[in-house]
Amino acid sequence: VSTTTDIPRAEFLESALEPQPERRRRIKRRSVNTIIWFVVLLAITAVVLYPLVWLFVATFKPSSEFAQNPGLIPENPSFDNYIKVFEGIAGTPLWRFFTNSLFIAVMAVIGTLFSSALAAYAFARIRFRGVRVLFAAMIGTLLLPFHVIIIPQYILFNKLELVDTYWPLILPKFLATEAFFVFLIVQFIRNIPRDMDEAARIDGAGHIRTFTSIILPLIKPALITSAIFTFIWTWNDFLAPLLYINSPEKYPLPIALRLYNDATSTSDYGATVAVSFLALLPILLFFIVFQRFLVDGVATQGLKG
Amino acid sequence: VSLETQSIASAEAGSETVRRTTRQSDGGNGKRNGGNGKATVTPGRRSANRRETIAGYGFLAPWLIGFLGLTIGPMIYSLYLAFTRYNLFTDPEWIGFDNFIRMFTEDPQYIQSVQITLVYVLVGTPIKLAAALGIAMLLNYRNKGSSFFRSSFYAPSLIGASVSVAILWRAMFSTDGPVDRSLSLFGINVGGWVGNVDLVIPMMILLAVWQFGAPMVIFLAGLKQIPQELYEAAEVDGAGPIRKFRSVTIPMLSSVIFFNLLLETINAFQVFASAYIISNGSGGPAGMTNFYTLYLYKRGFADLQMGYAAAMAWALVVVVAIIAFILFRTQKSWVHYAGENK
């Protein structure tokens, strides 16, 4: 269906009929269009990516320079900001915030994959009483503003004395509360022909067997997409750790960043900028490596990103 | 199974996701009614049904526990709290509709919060979607080389809600920051946007528009599904680019537009981290970044007025439900699904 396959053929037919100079002019116009296309898109790219480039370069600016030099190039580049931030803040070294974030994100990925894949299999492949209503309810939670549950959830975890632990951040992931991923995997399973698992069923395989040996290997792309998105969203998440985590040594990066932002934004801008960049770095690397999975995942399922 | 299958699956891009969910539920219904309607249910069949039910709920158990314990239960409880006064330490005290009455009559901060959130959502979302559609069409013009741009444009969507980007945005738009200096070159001296009552919402909207990549990717998948013949036919009929856009692109893309509009609107209501960081948690200057979620957070968790915050949350649910309802109801008149003859 792509446009590239259709255009050359049409052009060939036309060019056979039209006189030579005309044809040369057409080709010329086409390449001029392509050049304009590239230039326009490069300009948009420059605007879109400029803030990120600025952030990266700014990490090498000494704090004193921010007020006079908002431009891209630092006048006196140095690693001072990095050296300073590695000491950490509030008596906690910087690496600690990274490992905290990493732990939460990895647990979230494991929990989400486990619970979402199981639920998705049930929704997509098992016919049982109530499945239709439950599926509609699951879709409903996709559109539900989270505001309505954060207060009672907080009260619940407070009653269970789980505030200032990672449980409130991780437990919901093991219970598939992010309906987006259930939905994504359901859609993926529905695209798998039923013949394969029906054959397995006839051979006497139960649902557990069918799930683990037929479906699970086939939905790997959906699982990878879910894993990457879960990792990134959890890594970026601000509200949940803001609510639940009180001790600085348990802070994940976004909350630690707020600490830098509050404590040093006036006096030590360089440090704040450097930590901001370091916090984004894993995500950006993830993105560069897995961009096809991410972008195709969005194209397929319309994830919110 | 390579990624290609997934790309092919995007034959049913965002557009179809909405339709398929509705269609699927009908399909399931029909089949199951057929099964139940059978007069002779053999014992073997009944035990098979029971096995299926056990298996179904077994697989669904983690989700079901989460759904009941962390979604439905809390929803009901917060609905109850909305009619109480509750500070987390003493028992909730039933006060009827007082919270709601107070919200709309005695709380100018709430009214302001609603206003700026509505401005942010109703101005920001259309601009973001227009940018997404425009650039998607630009990318669709040529296949070769477009994937680099597609990825570059998508990157901000991935990180836009993070604290880092909020800090970055504040730096970009502060007094004598890059944006201020660049505008001065053109003789526009506005100073910092962050402390400016008139410019802080436009700044937040720009941050939202900067994340146009996610809806753009969905639009692009939709554009690739439009049969080229439709454009050729329109051309034969003498349609120019604007006419083609109005009479081919928009109708063929309407289901994707609907999907993006619904998601982006609901997401926009939930903006939090950037408003919190940009205003240092205060919602300032003069309450102009006191977006709904931030105000709810402050009322609930800083002032410990949990009942009031729960009432705010339910007021938002009602608004979002109304918007979703309007979008779903009106889609019949403007959303065209492939295969329908209208």
| Cβ within 8 Å, pair B74-A149 | yes
B24 touches chain A (CB under 8 A): yes
Separation between Cα atoms, residue B295 and residue B281, nearest integer Å: 10
Show the 3-state SS of B276-327.
Answer: HHHCCCCCCCCCCCCCHHHHHHHHHHHCCCHHHHHHHHHHHHHHHHHHHHHH
Pairwise pLDDT comparison (B342 vs B160), residue with the higher score:
B160
Q: Please tell me the predicted confidence (pLDDT) of residue B32.
A: 40
Nearest to A280 among B64, B159, B176 (CB): B159
- Mean pLDDT, all residues of chain B: 83
Give me the pLDDT at residue A18, please. Answer: 58
A131-142 and A179-190 are packed helices; what angle lies between their axes, rounded to 10 degrees? Answer: 130
User: What is the pLDDT at residue A13?
Assistant: 54
Kindly state the average pLDDT of the residues B312-321.
92
Chain B residues in contact with A57 by the CB 8 A cut-off are none
| A167–chain B nearest CA distance, Å | 13
Task: Tell me which of A203 and B337 has the higher pLDDT.
Answer: A203
3 state SS of A74: coil
**Which phi-psi region, left, alpha or beta, contains residue A88 (left: φ > 0; alpha: ψ -120 to 50)?**
left
pLDDT exceeds 90 at position A30: no
**pTM score of the predicted model:** 0.84
Residue whose tokens read 């995007």: B10
Residues of B in contact with A261 (CB under 8 A): 163, 167, 277, 280
Q: What is the mean predicted confidence (pLDDT) over A188-215? A: 88
**What does the pLDDT average to over B162-182?**
88
The average confidence (pLDDT) of chain A is 85
- Determine the distance in angstroms separating the CA of B16 from the nearest CA of chain A, rounded to an integer: 9
What is the per-residue pLDDT across B51-70, written as a single tens digit (0 to 9) for each? 889 999 999 999 999 999 99
More confident: B95 or A147: B95
* Mean pLDDT, residues A198-205: 86
CB contact under 8 A, A134 and B155: no
Backbone angles phi, psi at B199, to 5 degrees: -105, -10
Amino acid A134: pLDDT: 95
* DSSP secondary structure code for residue A62 in this structure: -
Is the pLDDT higher at A189 or at A91? Answer: A189
CA distance A293 to A230: 13
Residues of B in contact with A132 (CB under 8 A): 25, 28-29, 32
Contact B277 A261 (CB under 8 A): yes
Token code pair at residue B10 = 């995007």
Q: What is the pLDDT of residues B4-51, one digit of tens each?
A: 333 333 333 333 343 444 444 443 333 444 334 444 456 667 777 888
What pLDDT, on a 0 to 100 scale, did the predictor assign at position B77?
Answer: 95
Residue that has been written with the tokens 């049913």 in this structure: B12
Q: What is the percent of chain A with per-residue pLDDT over 70, rounded to a whole number?
A: 88
Q: Do B162 and A279 touch (CB under 8 A)?
A: yes
Q: How confident is the model at residue A302 (pLDDT cuts 50, 70, 90)?
A: low
pLDDT at B194: 86
Do the beta carbons of residue B12 and residue B224 sit within 8 Å? no
> Hey, are the CB atoms on B152 and A48 less than 8 Å from each other?
yes
pLDDT at residue A72 tops 80: no
Query: Which A residues in the span 184-243 are in contact with B, Cβ-Cβ below 8 Å?
Result: 187-188, 190-191, 206-207, 211, 218, 220-222, 225, 232, 236, 238-239, 242-243
- pLDDT score, position B26: 40
Residue B70: which of A153, A253, A295 has the nearest Cβ?
A: A153
Q: What is the distance between the alpha carbons of residues A24 and B239, in angstroms, rounded to a whole number? A: 25
Number of A:B CB contacts under 8 A?
345
The per-residue pLDDT for range A44-53, each reduced to its tens digit, is 999 999 999 9
Q: Does B161 touch chain A (CB under 8 A)?
A: yes
Q: What is the CA radius of gyration of chain B?
A: 25
Q: Cα distance from B195 to chain A (closest Cα, Å)? A: 14
Which chain A residues contact residue B66 at CB under 8 A?
A: 115, 172, 174-177
| CB–CB contact B162 A287 (8 Å) | no
Nearest Cβ partner of B56 from A122, A144, A273? A122
DSSP codes of every residue in A115-155 = HHHHHHHHHHH---TTHHHHHHHHHHHHTS-THHHHHHHHH
Q: What integer pLDDT is reported at residue B39 of this predicted model?
A: 44
User: What does the buried/exposed string (b/e) look like for A157-172 if buried means 16 or more CB atoms within 10 Å of the residue's CB?
Assistant: beeeeeeebbebbbbb
The pLDDT value recorded for residue A301 is 60
Nearest chain B CA: its distance from A115 CA (Å): 6
Identify the three-state secondary structure at position B86.
Answer: coil
Q: What is the per-residue pLDDT for A144?
A: 87
pLDDT at residue B297 is higher than 90: yes
Using the Cβ of A79 and the Cβ atoms of chain B, whether some distance falls under 8 Å is answered with no
